[in-house]
Amino acid sequence: MEPMSIVIIGATRGIGAALADALDGPGRAVTRIGRGITPGFDLLDEASIARAAEAVGPGLRLVIDATGFLYNDRIKPEKSLRQLDPAHLAYSFAVNATGPALVMKHFLPLLAADERAVFATLSARVGSISDNHLGGWYSYRAAKAALNQLMRTAAIELARTRKHAICVALHPGTVETDLSRPFAKAGLDLQTPAQSAQRLLAVIDGLTPAQTGLLFDHMGKQIPF
């Protein structure tokens, strides 16, 4: 029997690496994609995304995009409108929304056509507009909200040609990674990447095509947009 063809994008570290480690095993062919793993792969370079897709080819049963960006040495999540910076907004959108949308553009057509196939993009609860009661983090919130809308729109288009396909956004919970480390508060349900990966994979296992286009947390609970 052919091994189940799986792709993890953003497998260099954090939740993406943990997902790839958890999935590696008999009966599965896991391809890890990311900066430094796949020659030239970068979310900011569409040609590199297209080349990575071409290299894996069709018949994919599971694709998880675990990339994302919150801060770096120069960019910090905004606490106030006063800190809003067009370059920060543009960069957050490029990595958290445009890049993952280009991943959908090049990888959704590679999903298996005649059997259950899942595409999941890692989003965040803070991208939910209706769940925003705290404010702050303008760029990250807005880019994740855009990602949710892009995923939803792609899911509708995908359903026209692949009735067994599922395309969702997932919130991994608070996970101890480089991305969350400066912000994770003690007392929160702080998970290791391996714990979050196990929960996310259990959620993915339970999804049906009727749930395509939605946002779920790591416990399988739907988050309103």
Interacting positions 157-176 with ligand NAP (CB under 6 A): 171-172, 174-175
104 contributes a contact to ligand NAP by CB under 6 A: no
Question: Using the rule CB under 6 A, which residue among 7, 15, 20, 30 binds ligand NAP?
Answer: 15
Alpha carbon distance 166, 37 (integer Å):
27
Chain centre to alpha carbon of residue 187: 25
Amino acid at 183: F
What ranges in the chain are assigned the alpha helix state H?
A: 14-23, 46-56, 86-93, 99-107, 138-161, 193-206
Alpha carbon distance 38, 175 (integer Å):
25
Residues in the interface with ligand NAP (CB under 6 A) total: 27
Q: Mask: binding to ligand NAP, 52-91, rule CB under 6 A, as x and -?
A: --------------xxxx----------------------
Question: Using the rule CB under 6 A, which residue among 10, 167, 168, 201 binds ligand NAP?
Answer: 10
Token look-up 């990575």 returns: 52
Closest distance of CB 143 from ligand NAP, Å: 9
Beta bridge partners of 126: none
Token look-up 């404010």 returns: 135
Alpha carbon distance 116, 196 (integer Å):
23
- Sign of the torsion formed by the C-alpha atoms of 187, 192, 196 and 198: negative
Closest distance of CB 211 from ligand NAP, Å: 19
Question: Using the rule CB under 6 A, which residue among 39, 44, 47, 206 binds ligand NAP?
Answer: 44
Closest distance of CB 201 from ligand NAP, Å: 14
Question: Using the rule CB under 6 A, which residue among 60, 110, 118, 122 binds ligand NAP?
Answer: 122
List of residues contacting ligand NAP (CB under 6 A): 10, 12-16, 34-36, 42-44, 66-69, 95, 122, 124, 171-172, 174-175, 177-180
